[in-house]
A and B are shown apart, each in its own frame.
Chain A
Amino acid sequence: MDLGPHAAFIWASYLVVVVVIGALIAWIVLDGRNQRRLLARLEAEGVRRRSAAHAERKAGDDQ
């Protein structure tokens, strides 16, 4: 593909988009993974949100 005399500017533009969007996606994916890991660790310690504990109590009462 011949992009003419300004090819470097065109490729640089697309490269910047790939790098910035790639970094954004990586940050969001890693952040999500980290938050899920922290949440799982706290729940494994037996710590529950008030609403979750309430739902569990209610389910126990219904049985």
Chain B
Amino acid sequence: MLQLANPTRFMQYSARLLPWLAAASALVLALGLYMAFFVAPPDYQQGETVRIMFIHVPSAWLAMMCYGIIAVSSFGLLVWRHPLADVSAKAAAPIGAAFTLLALVTGSLWGKPMWGAYWVWDARLTSVLILFFLYLGLMALRRASDDDVLASRLTAILAIVGTVILPIIKFSVDWWNTLHQPASVMRLGGPTLHPSMLWPLLVMALGFTLLFLTLHLAAMRNEVLRRRVAVLREARVARAGASRAAEPQPAE
């Protein structure tokens, strides 16, 4: 693990892992889509609309998991000041924002035929919307300063403070009287879903998770390269300055 935490080794190992992860994501997602459309039966209440759940629920899970990864990475940056922790946090933010947006939009498209409204100011929906704004805030704050070190630290602090939203999202359906249904998979008494719907959902969730890991790893590699480019640009400027200083000065 410590060896992997070295950016050069990370680039070597991730280059080998990435094609396998991408292939596994594609395979599992293809299987999940097949199960979602051809194996899972229509729900007795929701009818065919239940098929939206197979993309909505994994998106919502990943929206939260991704924020958790950002928070852990931010902790790693603030405590150990490890550059890869910052790379991980920075790379995960736009991906997390995308999955949160998907959770909101697909939930809204499910809500219209089921609840009769695209949006209600329900505790679960509102807390996920706040999570989306938090992601946007993290990305904006990182760009707010020219001092990259300061921007990284400020973003890390905001990310850690923002973790308060995660238990609020998870327990919003228990703490408040919400229109959103309570947890039906991750609950103490076990899932309440019938296996014919649970398995397609779990396969889709695995596919989405593999896809997230692929995208995160690829985005982390891009970020490492971006930092190398920045270092080389600084080195080029320093070299140009040194060669100008070494040139003989014309006699006055």
A positions within 8 Å CB-CB of B = 1-7, 9-10, 12-14, 16-17, 20-21, 23-25, 27-29, 31-32, 35-36, 38-39, 42-43, 45, 47-51
Contacts and interface: CB of A to CB of B under 8 A. Distances in A.
By Cβ-Cβ distance, the 8 closest A-B pairs, closest first, are A35-B225, A42-B232, A6-B113, A4-B48, A3-B48, A13-B106, A13-B52, A13-B109
B59 A39 contact: no
A39 B222 CA distance: 11
Given A1-B37, A7-B48, A28-B219, A13 B110 contact: yes
Contacts of A20: 98, 101-102
A16 to B, nearest CB: 5
Contacts of A21: 98, 102, 211
A49 B232 contact: yes
Contacts of B98: 20-21, 23-24
Contacts, number: 93
A23 B113 CA distance: 27
Contacts of A42: 229, 232-233, 236
B233 A17 contact: no
Contacts of A23: 98
B225 A9 contact: no
Contacts of B231: 49
A10 B54 CA distance: 11
Given A38-B229, A49-B232, 14 more contacts: A3-B51, A6-B48, A7-B48, A13-B56, A16-B102, A16-B109, A21-B98, A28-B218, A28-B219, A32-B225, A39-B229, A42-B233, A45-B236, A51-B8
B9 interface: no
B215 interface: yes
B55 A13 contact: yes
